[in-house]
Amino acid sequence: MPNLVEVNYQQTGKSKKTNEFGMREMQEKAFEARTAQYLLIKAPPASGKSRALMFIALDKLKKQGIKKVIVAVPEKSIGASFGTTELKKNGFFADWSPNPKYNLCTPGEEKSKVSAFLQFLETDEQILVCTHATLRFAFDGLDEKKLNGTLVAIDEFHHVSADGDNRLGEVLKNIMAKSNAHVVAMTGSYFRGDNVPVLIPEDEAKFTKVTYTYYQQLNGYEYLKSLGIGYHFYTGRYFKKHPEKEMSALAEILDESKKTIIHIPSVNSAESSKEKLEEVSHIIDVLGDLDYQDKETGVLYVKSKKSGKILKVADLVNDDQKAREKISNYLRTISSPDDMDIIIALGMAKEGFDWPYCQHALTIGYRGSLTEIIQIIGRATRDSSNKTHAQFTNLIAQPDAEDNDIKLSVNNMLKAITASLLMEQVLAPNFKFKIKKDDDDEDNSDDEDDDRTIKIRGFKLPTSQRAKDIIDTDLNDLKAKILQDDKMLKAMPGNIEPEVINTVLIPKIIREIYPDLSDEDVEAVRQHVVVDSVIKNSTIEEQGDKKFIRMAGSFVNIDDIHIDLIDQINPFQKAFEILSKSVTTQVLKLIDEHIQSTKIDMTEDEAILLWPKIKEWREKTGEVPSIQSFDHKEKRMAEAIIFLKELKRQRDLNE
């Protein structure tokens, strides 16, 4: 099927240029906030978060009175990103030189690492690098005041959770409450796969936020020009030949000429054969014949069936820890595209994994976690001279009417599509929205409008600083939470009126996420979410001296946009329209039946909103909407009539 998302970039080179201190664009932006006690850096993979931390940490050590720096990463392999780094040669005032003794991201028992962590606190050493696990275990019985005068940096910050059962979240909460420690949090996706907030609002409000967008990063590259996100469906097993085709689904989409990371299904998923080692063997069989394995590096040399070329393959699924460390060490040393062709992984090669030559991230099986998808896509979006296009493909099982888990399968498909919807929002350039007034003078020289500023009639602006911060820095994170909501999953394909989605469901979710917002600010945030989503799914064209925007299939003069017009558009329907043209009618029927069987409960707000449409329907057709109709919208109007009658009956009884 065609890509659900295809984004092109201008290759400005801006995000890779360095200033007089050797800082790239994102790093310079982060360094400007270096004096903040609590700093949250939200920036995509490959933007340079590791080095940004080094600049900030060294400034705190040399100029702000901080005595020690502790860097915590989720996996041992990511610890290498914080090794010795020469910064003075590029203009900075100091080098990053941690003592190898206190790099705890090395093989060994956790107990000894915890001892080394506690020992570090009593020494004059300044820098320690450890895993999240070591940080958690070290805090069992530790007095938080021991961290006074310390900077604690947490990489991949979305591993933290406000959930009381999340130990890392508890550790952070206690550090902030019981010590004067500084905190730098870094992440490419400030939301979690389980829809639990990373921080409670009171703690989040304490952080100074630095946001660097995917668009800023990718648009400022030198080589990468485009990114595609698509889905491919299969029946049976992904590695087995289809009865009606000459090859398997995997063989159909696996291009051996593209540097590819293949993530096989989680062993707990329906797509998994439950035999992960056999799946690796099947993938190698699809590629060709195993010639030999290098004993020193662990690299598999496979002779291609298609071209006869020898392919270099890395197996990161292997349960043998020594073998996995051997190939992992090799991957850390590669310096050219010729050093590796295909990497096969399960849980590894996601967060923090650096293979800049990767052109294709091929993921097998549904990924319900939007965070995980963003991390996987990030493996292919690093700039490199060997590629102009990066591709993410999700190979997923097609829902089958004979399958006992049909509901789960369809629900997973909906989640997969919402992931592409979010990524389209994340990857697009940001707009600024202002209130359009009838007496606006378009030639007003004081107006700072540009191509990314759009004026809208009836638009509301936030009144509190909290709401302004949400709009300025958290809009995509909020969209992620909205897209993960069960009610939204069932509403987005178009079986619910757009006005209900935009003016009933979305504000309800916003109130649940931000209960401290006033009604006025909930409406302002809601409008920004809806408008930003609709505009990013639209195209803007110039005709003469006028600009037109194509929204939901029709052109509108950009000067005539009103919030009421935008509220009539489903901001998330585009991907479902593409999907409907790419799958069989049988699959569409299964999706539809699933949605109908788990339809959204009617609310009074929705019923009231539908009432004018019901009257319009009756005037147009001369009939009352039918509950038996095959038209989803007519059926929904009929349900609204029943709901309103019952509501009136209940109120009459109570009078």
Q: Are residues 610 and 579 in the same domain?
A: no
| Per-residue pLDDT at 155 | 92
The string of pLDDT tens digits covering residues 415-436 is 777 777 777 778 878 888 889 8
Same domain for 359 and 249: yes
Q: What is the pLDDT of residue 191?
A: 66
218 pLDDT higher than 70: yes
Kindly state whether residues 391 and 526 are assigned to the same domain.
no
Confidence of residue 594 (pLDDT cuts 50, 70, 90): low
Q: Does 408 map to a domain?
A: no
> Does residue 366 sit in helix, strand or coil?
coil
Residue where a domain terminates, one of 177, 212, 247: 212
* Domain-located, residue 4: no
Position 545 pLDDT exceeds 60: yes
Is the confidence at residue 443, as pLDDT, over 50? Answer: no
- Is the pLDDT confidence value at 6 over 80? yes
pLDDT band of 584, cuts 50, 70, 90: low
Q: pTM of the predicted model, to two decimals?
A: 0.79
Look over the chain and give the mean of its residue pLDDT values, rounded to a whole number: 85
Band of residue 315 on the pLDDT scale cut at 50, 70, 90 = very high
Predicted pLDDT of residue 301: 96
- pLDDT of 490 over the 80 cut: no
Q: Are residues 643 and 605 in the same domain?
A: yes
Domain membership flag for residue 421: no
What does each C-alpha distance from 308 to 222, 257, 291, 293, 305 come to in angstroms?
Answer: 33, 12, 11, 17, 6
> Same structural domain for residues 571 and 634?
no
Q: pLDDT tens across 138-154, in order?
A: 998 889 999 999 999 99
Which pLDDT score, from 0 to 100, does residue 552 have? 65
Do 623 and 563 lie in one domain? The reply is no
Residue 245 lies in a domain: yes
Indicate whether 344 belongs to any domain: yes
Phi (first) and psi of residue 8, to 5 degrees: -110, 150
Same-domain status, 72 and 206:
yes
Confirm whether 5 is domain-assigned: no
Asked if residue 600 has pLDDT above 80, the reply is: no
**What is the pLDDT, as a whole number, of residue 438?**
67
Residue 319 is predicted with a pLDDT of 80
User: Is the pLDDT reported for residue 65 higher than 50?
Assistant: yes
Q: For residue 55, is it within any domain?
A: yes
Query: pLDDT band at residue 637, thresholds of 50, 70 and 90?
Result: confident
At 86, the amino acid letter reads E
Q: Are residues 171 and 229 in the same domain?
A: no
- pLDDT band of residue 595 (cuts 50, 70, 90) is low
Contact 264, 275 (CB under 8 A): no
- The predicted pLDDT at position 4 comes to 75
Which of 542, 559, 588 terminates a domain? The answer is 588
Q: Please tell me whether residues 382 and 471 are part of one structural domain.
A: no
Query: Do 289 and 431 belong to one domain?
Result: no
For residue 500, what pLDDT is reported?
87
CA distances from 538 to 41, 311, 395, 531 (A): 29, 42, 27, 11
Please count the structural domains in the chain. Answer: 4
pLDDT attached to residue 39? 96
Which CATH number goes with the domain that contains 166?
Answer: 3.40.50.300
268 in the same domain as 187: no
Last residue of a domain, one of 588, 621, 642: 588
| 412 part of a folded domain | no
Q: Model confidence over 153-194: pLDDT tens digits? A: 999 888 887 776 788 889 999 999 999 999 999 988 766 656
> What local confidence, expressed as pLDDT, does residue 221 receive?
93
User: In terms of residue numbers, what domain contains 203?
Assistant: 14-212
Measured from the Cβ of residue 350, the count of other Cβ atoms closer than 10 Å reads 24
* Contacts (Cβ under 8 Å, ≥6 apart) of 33: 39, 208, 210
* pLDDT tier for residue 444 given thresholds of 50, 70 and 90: very low
Residues 273 and 353 both lie in one domain: yes
Higher pLDDT, 112 or 200: 112
Contact between residue 536 and residue 428 where contact means Cβ atoms under 8 Å apart: yes
Q: 439 exposed, middle or buried (CB, 10 Å; 0-12, 13-18, 19+)?
A: exposed
pLDDT (average), residues 404-414:
68
pLDDT at 178: 94
Q: Which of the four pLDDT bands, split at 50, 70 and 90, describes residue 403? A: low
